[in-house]
A and B are shown apart, each in its own frame.
Chain A
Amino acid sequence: MDIRKTEEQGVIILAPDGRLDSNSAPILEQEIGSIGSDDEGHHLLLDFSKVEYISSAGLRVVLKTVKERQAASKSFAVSNMQDHVREVFEISGFDSYVTIHPDTPQALANFK
Chain B
Amino acid sequence: MIMATQKITFSLSNSLSELERLSELLSLIGEKWSLPGKIILQLNLALDELFTNVVSYGIEREPDQEVHFTIAHREDEIEIVVSDGGQSFDPTQAPVPDLNLSLDDQPVGGLGIFLMRQYTDNIEYRRENGKNIVTLTKKI
Beta-carbon contact of B41 and A53 below 8 Å: yes
Say yes or no: is A56 at the interface (Cβ < 8 Å to chain B).
Answer: yes
Main DSSP-derived SS at the B contact region? helix
Chain B residues with Cβ below 8 Å from A84 are 38, 41
Main DSSP-derived SS at the A contact region? helix
A66 to B102, CA, bound (A): 12
Interface residues of B in 9-63 (CB under 8 A from A): 16-17, 19-20, 23, 38, 41, 44-45, 48-49, 52, 56
Beta-carbon contact of B108 and A55 below 8 Å: no
Beta-carbon contact of B41 and A55 below 8 Å: no
**Smallest CB gap from B112: residue in A:** A56
Beta-carbon contact of B111 and A56 below 8 Å: yes
Say yes or no: is B6 at the interface (Cβ < 8 Å to chain A).
Answer: no
| Nearest CB of chain B from residue A111's CB, rounded to whole Å | 19
Say yes or no: is A105 at the interface (Cβ < 8 Å to chain B).
Answer: no
A64 to B118, CA, bound (A): 22
Say yes or no: is B125 at the interface (Cβ < 8 Å to chain A).
Answer: no
Q: Which of B41, B108, B118 contacts A67 (CB 8 A)?
A: B108
Say yes or no: is B106 at the interface (Cβ < 8 Å to chain A).
Answer: yes
Task: Count chain A residues whose beta carbon lies closer than 8 angstroms to a beta carbon of B.
Answer: 21
Say yes or no: is B109 at the interface (Cβ < 8 Å to chain A).
Answer: yes
Contact with A along B116-130 (1 / 0, CB 8 A): 001000000000000
Task: Count chain B residues whose beta carbon lies closer than 8 angstroms to a beta carbon of A.
Answer: 26
Beta-carbon contact of B52 and A21 below 8 Å: yes
Q: Which of A53, A60, A92, A93 contacts B108 (CB 8 A)?
A: A60
Chain A residues with Cβ below 8 Å from B115 are 55-56, 88, 91-92
A86 to B22, CA, bound (A): 22
| Nearest CB of chain A from residue B120's CB, rounded to whole Å | 13
Chain A residues with Cβ below 8 Å from B111 are 56, 59-60, 92
Beta-carbon contact of A22 and B108 below 8 Å: no
Chain B residues with Cβ below 8 Å from A21 are 16, 19, 48, 52
**A positions within 8 Å CB-CB of B:** 19, 21-23, 53, 55-57, 59-60, 63-64, 66-67, 70, 84, 88, 91-93, 97
A/B interface sample: 14 pairs, CB < 8 A: A19-B19, A21-B48, A22-B48, A22-B56, A23-B19, A53-B41, A55-B52, A56-B109, A56-B112, A60-B109, A63-B108, A91-B115, A91-B118, A97-B106
